[in-house]
Structure 1
């Protein structure tokens, strides 16, 4: 999976309305609260009929920031990836989005305190 990050202004050109958007944000906020804390900002974009990206800002807690400063960034990523993917319930997402979720990816930009979920969706028939 390749993730390209747009500049803040570029995201304004992407469509941001799709079925279940608000409920999806609620599900992501819930998972974030369980793993760390409530994000300061959540946004999402349906890039195409198969790719949905969710951006979270302001999710790191102090202990995570200290682990990053101490050089444990890769260990933190591996641990958070396992934890957060386990907290996202694909069955709930499928009901919310009214389509299948084939795969889920998650990554972070720890320096900017941002995280990205990428959901690969079942293409319409």
Structure 2
């Protein structure tokens, strides 16, 4: 189930079923077509930079982390050692503005994921 603002637009990943690939290859072979496979040194998958070298496959998540922080305007925040700022008092919101629960949930999910890296 997808919810708006919670990885809604970024979560689509086109995936081909193996049967579809087999049918395509069989049809191409039947028509005597030439099929090329491209090898790439570096590719991006869902914001992850994946690079391949003779030593192995490496995954870099810095692009994903920066984009996630920019979505919620966190790039200007100062880093802290603990996730809770000690000895700070919360002020009452006199206007009582409603909080969008999906925006808040997406923000918390992003922060939890990034701190677990």
The normalised TM-score by structure 2 is 0.27
Structure showing greater Rg:
2
The structure carrying a bigger strand percent of its residues is 1
More helix by share: 1
When normalised by structure 1's length, the TM-score is 0.26
